[in-house]
Chain A
């Protein structure tokens, strides 16, 4: 018997009992739809966490002076003064996995505009810093390498500082404010970034060339940090190793000595958050998978009932020439037809409900092709798996007894 005949027979048999076929499908429909919707929600939240972190600069690497033993007394790392222009030159010359690098010095102080003042901090950095931290300007222009060379008294201003120094909404670009007693000309306004994951206001900041902060405010030759960008997220680990080696060389550390600096990346944070939402995806998938199995058991149940109910039909088919295999294939085909049709409807429903979740709740969702493929394959397999035993039972009936069954 060819596949077309089989399909015809199975399709007819299902049409003879539409409501029951639909109810049987319902388990599969709900199972597939929930797999797709759940995975879409899980993936969506994972992606949105990732995007948020990327926005902070996921391939950002921070170098800080490290705490160290100095004659038996442990001293806080930040009070160490180990990072210098020498390190920057060495890193620029030798590091291959780093695309951008910026020294940083920080000074806290009072920003003053006429009668208004606001306590904030000023970061002294190089122009690359904006790229490394993924900062963008809302207005004005960034400072340049030339400003660094001349220690120009220019700065970029964050939204929080603007709110406090320019409360009436005037355009701060071109205005001159004072930080401590040094006047700075505002040349650009940073796009607001809001609070970071640790509750720090990322907009409460002034950014100026590092030479300006070093020479005019702090009077130091050391850096408090070095920021760098790994060439890509993938090579972050290599970049860390590279930086560590270069800085050890540059600081002339013997192999017995500990690092006098720390290299940090955002990777750990990303990994933690990703694994949390990855776990979420797994859990949702498991729940949805269970409902698929329950749908499959529903199919098995109905197929058993159907085989019993249609014993006489099976007897007739056998008496007019159906082989055991034909009966097996017929019932298997019915089960597969139920599960595949259920699968198709389930996929559509999954898309629809995902869309509804996005539209009504505003949750980010991503429908992954793999989840659609997977649940579809699982469906077909469910049909075959749970349809097989009832079909086998049907195929093994004795035609004489089946014909006489009432």
Chain B
């Protein structure tokens, strides 16, 4: 049996808010196979963000088990979790979170700086390679404020790719982008998923985005409401081609 990318068993997460206990997640189980593209959907208050934090190893479940690439995160210390994030997870955030006044290349190199096994030469090479994968190799020395929103998000995706993670975890990654740029980003993510076989977990509240994935998990009030396979995901590339070409955009990809 092949190793699951991630495996969650009866996961619960509770918060102490003053004298009240808030149950954000009330028992969730699912597994993700390597190479899947999963969207986790839910309105606010559904426990989506809590689940995201746990999936991203930023938080630990109160009860239940979470295996990431076969590693039980419950047993890990704060520092070990950091290492795990460094080696196995690539984050993509809604607001890109690039370091200001730092070139695209250096932003992409950042995760490798925290991996002491990687030499300077290898770091450069892998960062350039990741930028090539998002088709921004020619902007390597641009600063974030010299890049468009879509380009910044692509730099962020390159940063998520550079450590060759088990899973790319995207949090509303298209939330700050207009629809054309959103499609561009989705097309890129689909390509990474289909061509390179990257496992992708995409947290969003837009049903529109969920249509691009191969599986949708719908959260409501801390439990899984629906877990559906999408046999025929839409192609973002085709959607992009179908959009009317306007003058204020030129395709850079």
Contact = CB atoms under 8 A, between A and B. Distances in A.
Q: Is B truly associated with A?
A: yes
A16 B98 CA distance: 14
Given A5-B113, A326-B114, A321 B101 contact: no
A325 interface: yes
A321 B100 contact: no
A49 B85 CA distance: 68
B91 A320 contact: yes
B129 to A, nearest CB: 17
Contact of B114 (A8, A12, A313, A321): A321
B93 to A, nearest CB: 7
A321 B78 contact: no
Contacts of A2: 116
A320 B163 CA distance: 9
B41 to A, nearest CB: 20
Contacts, number: 65
Contact of A319 (B91, B102, B113): B91
B18 to A, nearest CB: 17
Interface string B46-88: 0000000100101100000000000000000011001101110
Given A321-B114, A326-B114, A400-B53, A12 B78 contact: no
Interface residues of A, number: 24
Given A321-B87, A403-B93, A1 B82 contact: no
Nearest to A15: B101
A318 B82 CA distance: 7
A318 B91 CA distance: 11
A323 interface: yes
Given A319-B91, A325-B79, A9 B113 contact: yes
B114 A16 contact: no
Contacts of B93: 316, 403
- The residue among B83, B85, B114 with the most chain A CB atoms within 10 A of its own CB is B114
A322 B91 contact: no
Contacts of B58: 318-319, 399-400, 403
Interface string B98-125: 0111100010001101111000000000
Interface string A1-38: 11001001100100010000000000000000000000
Contacts of A313: 99
11 contacts: A1-B114, A16-B102, A313-B99, A316-B97, A317-B114, A318-B58, A320-B86, A320-B111, A320-B163, A321-B87, A323-B82
B159 interface: yes
A315 B95 CA distance: 13
A324 interface: yes
Contacts of A1: 113-114, 116
A236 to B, nearest CB: 63
A315 B102 CA distance: 17
B35 to A, nearest CB: 23
B82 A12 contact: no
B79 A323 contact: yes
Contacts of A400: 53, 58-59
Contacts of B78: 323-324
A321 B111 contact: yes
A9 B107 CA distance: 11
Contacts of B116: 1-2, 5
A316 B159 CA distance: 11
A324 B101 CA distance: 24
A317 B115 CA distance: 12
Given A16-B102, A320-B86, 18 more contacts: A1-B116, A5-B113, A12-B106, A16-B100, A312-B97, A313-B99, A316-B99, A318-B82, A319-B56, A321-B82, A321-B114, A321-B115, A322-B86, A323-B79, A324-B78, A324-B79, A324-B82, A326-B82
Interface in A363-404: 399-400, 403
Contacts of A312: 97
Contacts of B159: 320
